[in-house]
Copies of this chain bind each other. A is one copy, B any other.
Amino acid sequence: MSGTSDADTPDTTAPTPAVPPMIAVDAMGGDHAPEEIVRGAVLAVRELGLRVVLVGRRSQIAELLAREDALKEVPVVHSEDSLAMHEGALASWRRPRSSAAVACRLIRRGDADALVSAGSTGGIVATSTVRLRTQPGVLRPALAVPLPTGETPTILVDAGANADAKPEMLVQFAHLGCAYAQTAFGVEQPRVGLLTIGSEPGKGNKLTRRAAELLTAASDDDSRSLDFLGNVEGHDLMSRVVDVVVADGHTGNVALKTVEGTAAFTMAALREAFTSSWSAKAGALLQRRALGELRARLDSETYGGAALLGLNGTVVIAHGASRARGVARACQLAHDLATGRVGERIRRRVQHRPPSWLHRLAQTEER
C-alpha cells in the first residue's frame, strides 16, 4: 500500500477507521433482488468477514434472512421505496426514500462507509451523485471497471457515467483510475493510456487530442503522479499495455459493452463449433474443466462490479444480473476501496490541480 508519490502530508480531516468499514447493501436493486442480494450479504458476512447492513423493505428482508438463519448477523435499515431496474437518472431524483437514497443517507451520517447496489447504473449514478456529492475539486464522478486482461486487470474509466466529457475531466478520470488501481490492486505506479483512434500523438477527435495534451503536461510535471504513455486503441483494452485506460463515458461504455458482447459471441461460436462433429464433441468433454475456468475468468462478475469514483463515499455498482456470489464480491471490492482509502488518494491527487474554471477558461480562449 505505498502508492501515491505526491502524498506525504499527514491528513487530519479524514477519519481513521479503527473498525472495518460498514457496507450498506441496497437489497432492492438488481434483476434477482431481493433474494440473491440478501444471500450475497450473508455470504459477505459469513465467508468474507465483512461488516454489512442491508437497506430495503424490512419485512421482506427479514423473511429472507430468517431463511438463511442470519437474522442476528446482518442488520437491516428500512426503506419503503426502491428504484426500478429500468428507471434512469430522473426518476431517482423523485425518490428520496428509495433504498439507494437511504443507503446514501447512512453514508452521509457516518453510519456506513460504502454503498453496494446491483440496481440500474443510471439510477445509482444519479442518486449517489446527488446525495453524496463529488469530492472537493472533482468535476464529475466516473465509473471504473476492471477488465480481466491478466493477473491484475486493466481499469477502464469512465465506463459510462458521463456521456459528454470535457478534456480536463479526462485528466481527472486518469487520476481516479490510478487511485483505484493503487488501492484495489496494489499497482504502485499505474501506466495510463488514452482510448482513441490512432496510436500516434496528434491522432483522435477534438476531445481526445486536447486531453492528450493536458495528460502529457500533467505527466511531465514531476510533482504529479501520472505516468501517461499516450494514445491506445480499441485492441489495447485487452492487450495489457497499460494499467488504466481513460475514455469519455460514451466511448468507454461502448467499448466495455463491445468487450462483453464479443467475448460472449466468441464463446457461443465456440460452443457451436464444438457440437459440429463427433470428434469435436468428444474433445469438448475432455476440456470441460479448462473451458469452465476460462468462462469464469471472462465472467463480468469476477471483480465484483464497477466503482463510481470521486464521490464522498465509496460506491460499487454490481452487474444487474448479479447472483449472491457476485454481490459478495462487490462487497469485498467496496471493503477494499474503503479500507485503502481510495477517496483520500483521490483528494490528494486532485487538490494540487488548478481549479477547473481556469482550465475551462484556457479552453474557451483557444477556440
* Complex: A286 Cα to B203 Cα, angstroms: 46
Let me know if A261 and B237 touch, CB within 8 A: yes
Let me know if A280 and B273 touch, CB within 8 A: no
The proximity string for A residues 237-257 relative to B, scoring 1 for CB distances below 8 Å and 0 otherwise, is 111000000011111011111
Known: A205-B163, A280-B287. A266 touches B262 (CB 8 A): yes
Interface positions, chain A 268-321, Cβ under 8 Å from B, are 269-270, 273-274, 276-277, 279-280, 282-287, 289-291, 293-294, 297-298
- What is the predominant secondary structure among interface residues of chain A facing chain B? helix
Chain B neighbourhood of A250, CB < 8 A: 196-197, 204-205, 208, 251
Let me know if A282 and B277 touch, CB within 8 A: no
Tell me the minimal C-beta distance from A308 to chain B in angstroms: 15
Interface positions, chain A 64-82, Cβ under 8 Å from B, are none
Closest to A204 in B: B163
Chain B neighbourhood of A238, CB < 8 A: 258, 261-262, 264-265
Central interface residue in A248, A261, A279, by most chain B CB within 10 Å: A261
Let me know if A287 and B294 touch, CB within 8 A: no
Tell me the minimal C-beta distance from A293 to chain B in angstroms: 6
Which of B88, B196, B258, B285 sits near A262, CB closer than 8 Å?
B258
Interface pairs A-B: 7 shortest CB-CB: A234-B257, A235-B261, A283-B286, A234-B258, A283-B283, A262-B262, A283-B287
Cross-chain pairs A/B with CB under 8 angstroms, 13 sampled: A88-B198, A163-B205, A233-B253, A234-B257, A238-B262, A250-B251, A263-B265, A270-B294, A273-B291, A276-B290, A280-B287, A280-B290, A286-B286
